[in-house]
């Protein structure tokens, strides 16, 4: 990877950085993406699994799918990309992660300020009384039930549902005030999450995309870096550290 010196300089001089991430950053941890060549939604229909009506129609089927996903997430580890983003906290004063991922891997990598726009697969709640559960219920057969009799569901955001207001507002604020905005491993097609990108752009941030292929948002960014985030991000950390050492 060769990144022009003036870009490294611009990155190194940034004050406040946002990483807006999607499924691609966790692909190298063995968690499948949704869309694209290897995407799970090439085989499964999201409208049958990722909306509330589908869940109420067939909770056991939807739970089957989420149990499978939970197992993958539990056995996955943060990869070099997640770790590089966490390492950025030792270089820059303000590093914010805004993620669409539900897999908790940024937290496990050590990132501190994380806004989860689409929830967290390791958290669940009762659709009736809203009581929260971690995974302290019987995940045996069928769909788990709360002590009140209501169905327990994963605390993720399905199509047609509102994003968690506090997470969205905090993400919006960080996007508005950052000077550098990275877009990592996302197709950028799901709204309102993807609006973070235009918010950052309209407020003058420099936009850098890291992806294995061009996306819907490539035309908006200042720089596209093509490649796997688990390779690009650690290289970037090294280049920034080298630049800073040179300056001292």
- Residue numbers of the site for ligand BJW (CB under 6 A)? 22-24, 27-28, 33-36, 39, 50, 100, 102, 118, 156-157, 159-162, 185-187, 189-192, 210-213, 215, 228-229
What is the residue whose two structure tokens read 């022009």? 4
**How far from chain centre, in Å, is Cα 86?**
14
What is the residue whose two structure tokens read 């001292």? 248
Query: 69 vs 153, which CB is nearer to Zn ion?
Result: 153
Closest to 154 (Cα-Cα) out of 128, 133, 140, 136 = 133
DSSP 65-108: HHHHHHHHHHH----HHHHHHHHGGGT-SEEEEEE---S-HHHH
Residue 153, contacted partner among Zn ion, ligand BJW, none, CB below 5-8 A by kind? none
CB of 50 to Zn ion, least distance (A): 22
Interface with Zn ion by CB under 5 A: which range of 76-84, 98-106, 131-139, 222-230?
Answer: 131-139
Catalytic-residue membership of 118: yes
- Work out which of 54, 85, 109, 146 binds Zn ion, going by CB under 5 A: 146
> What does the alpha-carbon distance between residue 52 and residue 47 come to, in Å, rounded to a whole number?
9
Of 68, 82, 106, 118, which residue is the catalytic one?
Answer: 118
Please tell me whether residue 34 adopts helix, strand or coil conformation. coil
Query: 30 vs 160, which CB is nearer to ligand BJW?
Result: 160
Buried b (16+ CB within 10 A) or exposed e, 40-49: beeeeeeeeb
CB of 239 to ligand BJW, least distance (A): 18
CB of 17 to ligand BJW, least distance (A): 18
- Work out which of 73, 95, 117, 126 binds Zn ion, going by CB under 5 A: 126
CB proximity list for 10: less than 8 A, separation 6 or greater? 180, 206
- Work out which of 1, 44, 56, 148 binds Zn ion, going by CB under 5 A: 148
x/- string (CB under 5 A) for Zn ion, residues 74-113? ----------------------------------------
> What does the alpha-carbon distance between residue 238 and residue 243 come to, in Å, rounded to a whole number?
9
Token output for 92: 């820059």
Question: Which residues are catalytic, by number?
Answer: 118
Question: What residues line the site for Zn ion (CB under 5 A)?
Answer: 126, 128-129, 131, 146, 148, 150
């Amino acid at each position: 990877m060769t990144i022009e010196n003036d870009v490294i300089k611009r990155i190194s001089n940034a004050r406040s950085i946002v990483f807006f991430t999607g499924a691609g950053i966790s692909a190298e941890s063995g968690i499948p993406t949704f869309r694209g060549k290897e995407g799970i939604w090439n085989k499964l229909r999201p409208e049958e699994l990722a909306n509330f009506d589908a869940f109420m129609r067939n909770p056991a089927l939807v739970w089957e799918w989420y149990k499978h996903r939970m197992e993958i997430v539990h056995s996955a580890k943060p990869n070099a990309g997640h770790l590089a983003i966490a390492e950025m906290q030792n270089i820059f004063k303000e590093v914010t992660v805004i993620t669409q991922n539900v897999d908790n891997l940024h937290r496990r990598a050590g990132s501190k300020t994380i806004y989860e726009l689409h929830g967290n697969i390791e958290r669940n709640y009762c659709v009736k009384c809203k009581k929260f559960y971690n995974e302290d219920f019987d995940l045996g057969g069928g769909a788990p039930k709360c002590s009140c009799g209501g169905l327990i569901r994963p605390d993720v955001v399905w199509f047609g549902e509102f994003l968690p207001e506090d997470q969205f507002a905090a993400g919006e604020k960080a996007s508005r005030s950052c000077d550098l905005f990275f877009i990592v491993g996302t197709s950028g097609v799901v709204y309102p999450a993807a609006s973070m990108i235009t918010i950052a752009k309209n407020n003058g941030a420099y936009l850098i995309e890291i992806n294995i292929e061009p996306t819907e948002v490539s035309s908006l960014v200042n720089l596209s870096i093509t490649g796997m985030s688990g390779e690009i991000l650690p290289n970037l950390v090294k280049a920034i550290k080298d630049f800073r050492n040179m300056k001292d």
